Structure 1
Amino acid sequence: MTTIAIAGGEATDFARPLAQTDKLGFLIQPPRMSIIVTTFVEGVGRIDPERLTEAVAVAARACPGMRLALTSEEPVWRDTGLAPRVRVVEAARFDFEQFADEPNIREGLVEEGGPTCEVVLIEGTDSTVLFRAHHAVTDGAGMRTWIQEVFRALRGEQPLGATDPRNIDELLASLPKPACEEEPAPETPIPSVLPRPSELTPRRHFWLRRTVPGNHPAVVAKIAAALTAASGLDQGGFWIPVDLRRHLPELRTTAGLAKVITLRTGRGEDWTQVQDRLLALLAENYDLVDHFDYGPLAEYSLAEIRDFLDTREEESIQIAERDYGGSAALSHLGRFELAELSTESFEATTVYGLPSLGYASMPLFDIAECDGRTEIVATWYDGPGMVERLGELLDDIAESLAPAAHQRWVGNDTHRALPPTPTLTALFAEQVARTPDALALDGPQGPMTYAELDRRAESVAAVLRGTGVRPDTVVGILADRSPAAVTAIWGVLKAGAAFLALDPRNPDSRLGELLADAGARICLAARADAHRVPGVEVIVLDSVPTSDAPAPADAVRPGDLAYVIYTSGSTGRPKGVQIEHHSIVNYSLWAARAYGFDDTTRIPLIAPMSFDWAYNTLFPPMLAGSTVVLVPEEPDHVVLRRMLTESGANAASLTPVHLDILSTMDLQLSGYRFVVSCGEPLPTSVAERTQALFGPDCRVVNAYGPTEAAIACTATVYRGESGPGNLSIGLPGDNTRVFLLDGHRRAVPPGEVGEIYLAGEQLARGYHGRADLTRDRFVRLADGTRAYRTGDLGRLLPDGWLACLGRVDRQIKVNGFRVEPDEVARTLERHPAVRSAVVTGVRRGERGKVLCGYAVTEADPAELRAFLADLLPAHMVPVSITPLAELPVSPNGKIDVNALPDPFATAAPAGGARATDDTEAAIGAIWAKVLGVDGAAIAGDSEFTQLGGTSTAMIKMVAEVCAEVVGAGGEREFMRRLPEVIGNPTLAAVCSLARSARRPSAVR
């Protein structure tokens, strides 16, 4: 153990008179029973001892109540000017039960002359910080304030300060006296929840700790009721310290300001009855009643009382051990926000207090709540059977708060061993060695074997190594669905770096924004796009020289970054999800087995490379020796049909939107082994039609998972379900667990709705450069499990499978992409003519929600949409923007989304125009079905997008027009001329094109 020198300081005139409770409640204890307020902050990561020492000094200047000493001349605490000492204890690994026996937390603190508090840094693999202070100078709430100030200083923030000098006596004197009177003492002694040991181990006490999942409103009442029942008490009386700061919420002080009230309980009472009684006591301000009469002791000095007790210490202790003041003391230390106790290098995972027994104590239980966990630490005198009995009480409390039956689900038994080196590069090298001459890629640009792909990727890697890339270096790739793009991906990985795949369809400004945010200084690009990313070093893929030099040994590690992929951000900025090698390997191996990839599989790649569902058609098949068929064209219905019927594919990976389009075509496919859907919910009706399309021997798989958990985490196979609603999302994959938790992070009972939390091997490292967002979304559950909070709602079905039921927030899916409406709104507000804006999802029939914008502006909506199109991907541009004089506001001052006008109401013609001919009637009916609107809302001058049509809805509409109106003979001409009307997609324009392209027999 080392002690870091206390930083020098200058004493101020801060002083606090000695309160009666300080003198007669805490300071009269024998030194070996010194009552200490102790709080642990555990976490992952490290805290530098020197920085902690500096932070303690800074925080102490802002909180002089934490550097007090008791003067011998007068009963006053005075500022010493000396910061609390920082002690450093080396420990290979922190373990609470072992550390509880260490003298570091048992020894008293000097009462006269100081110091009265200290900080202990336990240095192991991760840091743990222990804050200790004499109870006479602070209490649990004061300690929480002090800890928060130290961590503010550690983060380089300005402390808020806590400089009020009043003690509890002065505070009580300033508060109005309550009308209530003290409750009469019970006629019979109140029994304790634990007996005194018949044989004491020289009055030594011990601690036991339980961590309970979730936060629990009314937790004190629930624990009091549970202890009453578990102890078999007919009546209980629990001492409940109440923080008097509740009467003065703006008070900033670290002083001890807790007053005790007694909470009565009875046999068989429900916790709600106990809570009602507690709330009544607080409502009547029983915490302001003077419960203790110190009698003549109050007239004596501390020294005189100590001298008296020293001569009769043994007799005093024996009396205290016979007489109980209550059944137990339940001290709630408050709710800690773990983000407030974290730094760039240290993430707090839990906080808990350590109750300290005096010789007149009853059993003590300290309760602390932090994000999604409740910590309970209890203490009692050691003796035969006492540890076991207290452990049983804590187990009973835990079961009452979080029933074990709610925590366990057999679907989470998913452990499966990974390869010794779970990296993409190692497994790809093994596959190349197994099947060097097998086709890795096929498509319009010709075939490529695994050996050739490996050789070309190594050439890219050699160039990148020459630029000095290292693990976690991010390299951009601007090339889509081409051999060059796939080669670039494997080249970046072989070089030990991580790739960022960019969508060439995005605006140049968006490309630059993502590269800058990811810190990418190099971008691999196709020659046609090389000019679009200024400010970075561009390597043209077509110009990479072939390298015949032997490849260096693979040095990639499982924890290295494999790729970064950007999703929409609710703060107005996109956020880069960081996926490590072991995560994508775990998914790839599970997917290959669960879906059925092998060396005979041929699967088309049609998703944009910036969409992580594209990697389902890249990594699982290529680690299984499959052939990936590249489809460079945009996937309209013609491309989809050709892909399925002419590419030789026997498997497919598509979104529900694509499956919906395919299922309306006049096709009958055979030879397909599996079709996997992901990206958004799969309607049961679409799954049913998909099964009919691909035949009974094809497995239709619905996969679910966010980008933050490496593509997909659960899957189910369609089993013939029919009717409304969506297909279930099945069961977790290998090394993945799913938890359904409520708003307090408590496990919901089976069958009830909870938010989906994902845990396991596939979780992302976090968001690039966004520690705040990472801490918010990637959380620690009560047992220490790291989990991702998805924002999706789920329920466990009677068959034991999972259902996904929607969102807890405003996020929506557009073409399979996640869109945070607030990011679009913040971008819209960058237009100089927009004063404020809101973007939200508006439901359109059975198609779900489409993105719609509202702006306080006089600008033309078309101009605003064009402005957004220059900054955002196409799927993030609202289908409509409605100008408003002002945005509606709810009574609480927030934008009232429900009061926004229907953006499509003005698109309906005033009387429901009659169709001019059969063509307009047929196409109008298609529009009505695809858009989910009344046919009366459609006229010749109606625009598809103004009625809520997205790009995927446009593909579906065109497919149905070709099938139902134009006919097979006119389809090629219709599709050739379609770009003529894309810029002005009115019903009249589409009808005119259909008339000129169709054959006379096309209308059915």
Structure 2
Amino acid sequence: MTENLHHKKGNNIKEKISEDFWVKKLKGGVYSQLYTLRSERAIEFREHILEVPEDIKEKLYAVTKGDSKNYFVLICSALAINHSFYCQDEDIIINSPNLVIGGVENARKSPLFYRLKISPDLSPAEVIEVMKKEFQLAFEYRNYNYDTFRDRAADSFDMQALGQVGLRIPGLTSADPDYNVSEIQFHYQMEDSILSINYDASKFEAELIGRYGKHFLNVIRAILFARDTRIASLFLPEQGQQKELLQTFNNTFVSINEEATVVHLFEAACSAYPHHVAIQTPDVSLTYKELNSLTDALADYLLAKYELAPETVVGVMVDRSEWIIVSILGILKAGFAFLPIDPDYPVNRIRFLIGDSESPLIISESKYLPLLEGFTALDILEAPLNPNPAKVNKAVSHGLAYMIYTSGSTGLPKGVLVEHTGLTNHVNWFSRCFAVKDTDSSILVSSYSWDGNYSIIWSCLVNGGKLHILPNDQIVDTSFLLDYISRYSVTYLKLVPSFFSALIASDIFRNAISSWSLRLIVLGGEPINISHLKKYLTKYPTTLFANHYGPTEATIGATTQIIGIENLAEFSRLPVIGSPYDNCEIYILDKNRNLLPVGVTGELYIGGRGVARGYWNRRELNQEKFLNNPFKEKGRLYRTGDFGFWTNDGKIVFKGRSDFQVKIRGYRIELGEIESVLMQLDYIENAVVLVNLVDEDVKELTAFICSFEIPALERIRTDMSMLLPDFMVPNKFVLVESIPVNINGKTDQERLLALPGRVLGTFSGYLAPRNKVESELIEVLGEVLRNERIGLQDDFFALGGDSIKSIQVVSRLRQRGYQLQ
């Protein structure tokens, strides 16, 4: 009896040691997998049989001497190498059932794990040596309680990482494991040399698994016949695959007029439709003839008044009115390039953009002239423009069209130089793809400092369509905007998905509009909320959507995916950003800039006509981001920092970014720029900014700060608003004692999020609502801001409000019967 107790106690101690081993070994494991489908289907496992060539069978037996343990080490090494390539992840975890020793199954049927670091610079032989040690460790610590381990390890790593891919060899591994089957499970029958893959068909396409298996056999062959070859060379695409990636998927050539610019196309529209309305504002209607004359007059005045060289960058800083378009076209006709400057930007940012761009002239309005003190500015409303100007067009196809600033990781924005040839190519494609005609009309919804709007501006103006420009207060009033779309028969829009979501939350949308005119909605700048697409198309099934992808450095975009009621289910299953369009190319490459095959995630490089000239005065960054195209004799590539993979039919799935850039409300933001601004504040000691996914399509910024004091939230937001646009000011500020770092000296986000920080608030005292109206207002604000305790004296923006949330507040109050003045 006593001996049994001692024996049991000894076993418990051994199990605890083994359990500690696995917790420590697997800490930090990340789920890295092949691409999956979005599916509402139940889990359904299917089998894919791999035909193992005879020479591999023979060599495999000779090398392993028929020993099951040797088989296991070799096949598991190949599996880790193959999975690492397909996931483009060096940290790979393979699982197996527990081991059968001497024909006797282990009493504990807990799974075992083999964690390998797969570098492309290693050889298969080196991986095998590591795998031998992994196998020995797994054997030594095979006796442990998996249920207890799972409870302890839940907070240490992603448990999904343990079940992504597994290996079974009957006779060596348990036939009846006490754990869930892996998403991809390899089975090897030694006696018959049968190799099969069981996979979850609700997640993976059969063709992908077929490619995966074929590459796996290639790795086995390399291990057997060329084990000293570098891993990176094992996956170079074969000739047929190269042709598919370089020619089939990038077969985008479309002939265009090499000499034409958007100015030439606009003037052709003026000749064809002189009496059509080109610009419509609440106060002004300009026909094409009138707009053409005004822009000729401005170009003539600029050339006569200012001695500026071709391609000089001239700033535009005006309110939302016809003068946006007049200014831009006048600048382009004079042979200059325009720089869009949103008047709502903080003063310091405005002055930085002007100073950094070395712009010698800013076209603006009288009310903004005090902000431009020290710079040369022209009040466009007071400019003595000739009512009968001569025709002017000095725009050239390879000249500079505009400079536009994007967020910079060093804390300073960077200016992107875009040429006419890229802009013209984009506009020609947009007009052709979406059949834009003179009967079409659109609305300038977002700021003209967002280049996504140039799809709308120019597609209207080169085809004789009507461009509506409304003031900000009418744009943010979604009920008014929807009513306006219906009343004025607007036919197409380009929106960021978060604004689209706010639009369809309106009571007018829910009540349905009988005379709905929208035939096209282009969404770009953020991931699409599929549930909102379904909601819209259920009500208006004839509208087409386009998922538009591309950075500013590729001239607005490079790929698109058309979505309609017919293919909505397919898009829901696998949301794609589509294929490259006219004269654009996409290359998906690994870290060594080798082509990656279908289904393998890599970095997106963009080539073709849309590639920008580069960054203004950023030589080192240009060398890093703008490269010669190794796949063509001529041409350049832009390295996006975005990751994705090809599907079997030549479309691309977007997987995220490699750096610290994010997109908020369509704007590309460097988190480092926000952190840099925070660190400029003398009361901030350290700062880290993270992105918080509030909803499927809503991202918010959270700043974690260290300070010698407890700063007031109003103070931080006010100070940051002096330096950054509102969309870059974090929604939430959390005061922490220190910023934790990992072994590499980088921010440990997991530990940071777990810290007991203090969320800074605005109210020192809580003022409750005093009547029904105030109660309903507070209730709506609470719903939108996801905050249960809001007082009447709290600041909407300090609580995380922004322009999109203000739209939601207005819409929900209207639904309750309130009208806002």
TM-score (norm 2): 0.65
Match among 243, 251, 258 for residue 420 of structure 1? 258
Return the letter of the residue paired with 1:808.
S
Question: Could you say which residue in structure 1 is the equivalent of 2:582?
Answer: 734
Q: 1:806 to 1:885 in 2, by over 3 A?
A: same
Deviates more, 1:485-494 or 1:550-559: 550-559
Question: Could you say which residue in structure 1 is the equivalent of 2:645?
Answer: 795
TM-score (norm 1): 0.54
Q: In 2, are the aligned partners of 1:691 and 1:700 still within 8 Å (CA)?
A: no
Matched, 1:717 2:558: no
Deviation, structure 1 residue 557: 2.0
SS at match of 1:829: helix
Q: 1:444 to 1:902 in 2, by over 3 A?
A: farther
SS at match of 1:687: helix
SS at match of 2:522: strand
Deviation, structure 1 residue 946: 5.8
Deviations 1:213-232 (A, max 9, x none): xxx9x99xxxxxxxxxxxxx
Question: Structure 2 CA distance, aligned partners of 1:906 and 1:835?
Answer: 16
Deviations 1:220-274 (A, max 9, x none): xxxxxxxxxxxxxxxxxxxxxxxxxxxxxxxxxxxxxxxxxxxxxxxxxx99446
Q: In 1, are the aligned partners of 2:598 and 2:646 still within 8 Å (CA)?
A: yes
Deviation, structure 1 residue 953: 2.2
Matches of residues 874-885 of structure 1 in structure 2 within 5 Å? 874-885=726-737
Question: Could you say which residue in structure 1 is the equivalent of 2:141?
Answer: none
Q: In 1, are the aligned partners of 2:295 and 2:333 still within 8 Å (CA)?
A: yes
Match among 452, 477, 496 for residue 290 of structure 2? 452
Question: Could you say which residue in structure 1 is the equivalent of 2:432?
Answer: 593
Match among 470, 478, 481 for residue 631 of structure 1? 470
Question: Could you say which residue in structure 2 is the equivalent of 1:833?
Answer: 683
Question: Could you say which residue in structure 1 is the equivalent of 2:744?
Answer: 892
Question: Structure 2 CA distance, aligned partners of 1:918 and 1:534?
Answer: 48
Question: Structure 2 CA distance, aligned partners of 1:914 and 1:477?
Answer: 45
Matched, 1:950 2:805: no
Q: 1:941 to 1:860 in 2, by over 3 A?
A: closer
Question: Could you say which residue in structure 2 is the equivalent of 1:468?
Answer: 307
Question: Structure 2 CA distance, aligned partners of 1:569 and 1:927?
Answer: 33
Question: Structure 2 CA distance, aligned partners of 1:818 and 1:273?
Answer: 41
Match among 513, 521, 533 for residue 687 of structure 1? 533
Match among 703, 706, 719 for residue 853 of structure 1? 703
Deviation, structure 1 residue 942: 7.5
Deviation, structure 1 residue 549: 6.4
Return the letter of the residue paired with 2:802.
T
Question: Structure 2 CA distance, aligned partners of 1:400 and 1:895?
Answer: 33
Q: In 2, are the aligned partners of 1:861 and 1:883 still within 8 Å (CA)?
A: no
Deviates more, 1:448-457 or 1:416-425: 416-425
Q: 1:504 to 1:645 in 2, by over 3 A?
A: same
Gaps of 5+ in 2: 1-81, 86-120, 131-231
Number of residues paired by the alignment? 583
Question: Structure 2 CA distance, aligned partners of 1:941 and 1:846?
Answer: 31
Q: In 1, are the aligned partners of 2:521 and 2:544 still within 8 Å (CA)?
A: yes
Q: 1:685 to 1:917 in 2, by over 3 A?
A: farther
Question: Structure 2 CA distance, aligned partners of 1:748 and 1:883?
Answer: 43
Q: In 1, are the aligned partners of 2:762 and 2:795 still within 8 Å (CA)?
A: no
Deviations 1:341-399 (A, max 9, x none): xxxxxxxxxxxxxxxxxxxxxxxxxxxxxxxxxxxxxxxxxxxxxxxxxxxxxxxx989
Q: In 2, are the aligned partners of 1:459 and 1:544 still within 8 Å (CA)?
A: no
Deviations 1:706-754 (A, max 9, x none): 1111112211122332597884211211001112223332222212222
Question: Could you say which residue in structure 2 is the equivalent of 1:777?
Answer: 625
Question: Could you say which residue in structure 2 is the equivalent of 1:388?
Answer: none
Question: Could you say which residue in structure 2 is the equivalent of 1:556?
Answer: 395
SS at match of 1:957: helix
Deviation, structure 1 residue 544: 1.9
Q: 1:914 to 1:403 in 2, by over 3 A?
A: farther
Question: Structure 2 CA distance, aligned partners of 1:540 and 1:403?
Answer: 61
Deviation, structure 1 residue 547: 2.2
Deviation, structure 1 residue 788: 1.4
Deviation, structure 1 residue 618: 0.9
Question: Structure 1 CA distance, aligned partners of 2:770 and 2:562?
Answer: 47
Question: Could you say which residue in structure 2 is the equivalent of 1:518?
Answer: 357
Q: 1:851 to 1:567 in 2, by over 3 A?
A: same
Q: In 2, are the aligned partners of 1:457 and 1:491 still within 8 Å (CA)?
A: yes
Q: In 1, are the aligned partners of 2:544 and 2:564 still within 8 Å (CA)?
A: no
Question: Structure 2 CA distance, aligned partners of 1:510 and 1:476?
Answer: 13
Bigger relative CO (Cα 8 Å, ≥ 6 apart): 2
Question: Could you say which residue in structure 1 is the equivalent of 2:56?
Answer: none
Question: Could you say which residue in structure 1 is the equivalent of 2:210?
Answer: none
Question: Could you say which residue in structure 1 is the equivalent of 2:322?
Answer: 483
Q: In 2, are the aligned partners of 1:480 and 1:608 still within 8 Å (CA)?
A: no
Deviation, structure 1 residue 553: 6.2
Matched, 1:650 2:478: no
Question: Structure 2 CA distance, aligned partners of 1:902 and 1:496?
Answer: 58
Question: Structure 2 CA distance, aligned partners of 1:567 and 1:545?
Answer: 34
Question: Structure 1 CA distance, aligned partners of 2:370 and 2:791?
Answer: 44
Return the letter of the residue paired with 2:617.
G
Q: 1:430 to 1:749 in 2, by over 3 A?
A: same
Deviations 1:132-155 (A, max 9, x none): xxxxxxxxxxxxxxxxxxxxxxxx
Deviation, structure 1 residue 453: 0.9
Match among 547, 550, 556 for residue 705 of structure 1? 550
SS at match of 1:515: helix
Question: Structure 1 CA distance, aligned partners of 2:529 and 2:618?
Answer: 35
Deviation, structure 1 residue 540: 0.9
Gaps of 5+ in 1: 1-215, 220-269, 280-396, 977-1004
Q: 1:869 to 1:602 in 2, by over 3 A?
A: same
CA RMSD after TM alignment? 3.5
Question: Structure 1 CA distance, aligned partners of 2:768 and 2:696?
Answer: 25
Match among 750, 760, 784 for residue 608 of structure 2? 760
Return the letter of the residue paired with 2:482.
R
Question: Could you say which residue in structure 2 is the equivalent of 1:821?
Answer: 671
Identity of aligned residues (%): 28
Deviations 1:505-551 (A, max 9, x none): 11222111001111101000022212211222111101222225664
Matched, 1:696 2:541: yes
Larger Rg: 1
Deviations 1:416-469 (A, max 9, x none): 011131312222222222222221111212111111111111111112212122
Match among 743, 749, 758 for residue 591 of structure 2? 743
Deviation, structure 1 residue 804: 1.5
SS at match of 2:424: helix
Deviations 1:46-101 (A, max 9, x none): xxxxxxxxxxxxxxxxxxxxxxxxxxxxxxxxxxxxxxxxxxxxxxxxxxxxxxxx
Question: Could you say which residue in structure 2 is the equivalent of 1:671?
Answer: 517
Question: Structure 2 CA distance, aligned partners of 1:809 and 1:271?
Answer: 25
SS at match of 2:525: coil
Question: Could you say which residue in structure 2 is the equivalent of 1:438?
Answer: 276
Q: In 1, are the aligned partners of 2:642 and 2:656 still within 8 Å (CA)?
A: yes
Question: Could you say which residue in structure 1 is the equivalent of 2:45?
Answer: none
Question: Structure 2 CA distance, aligned partners of 1:271 and 1:841?
Answer: 35
SS at match of 1:479: coil
Q: In 1, are the aligned partners of 2:299 and 2:392 still within 8 Å (CA)?
A: no
Question: Structure 1 CA distance, aligned partners of 2:532 and 2:128?
Answer: 55
Question: Could you say which residue in structure 2 is the equivalent of 1:621?
Answer: 460
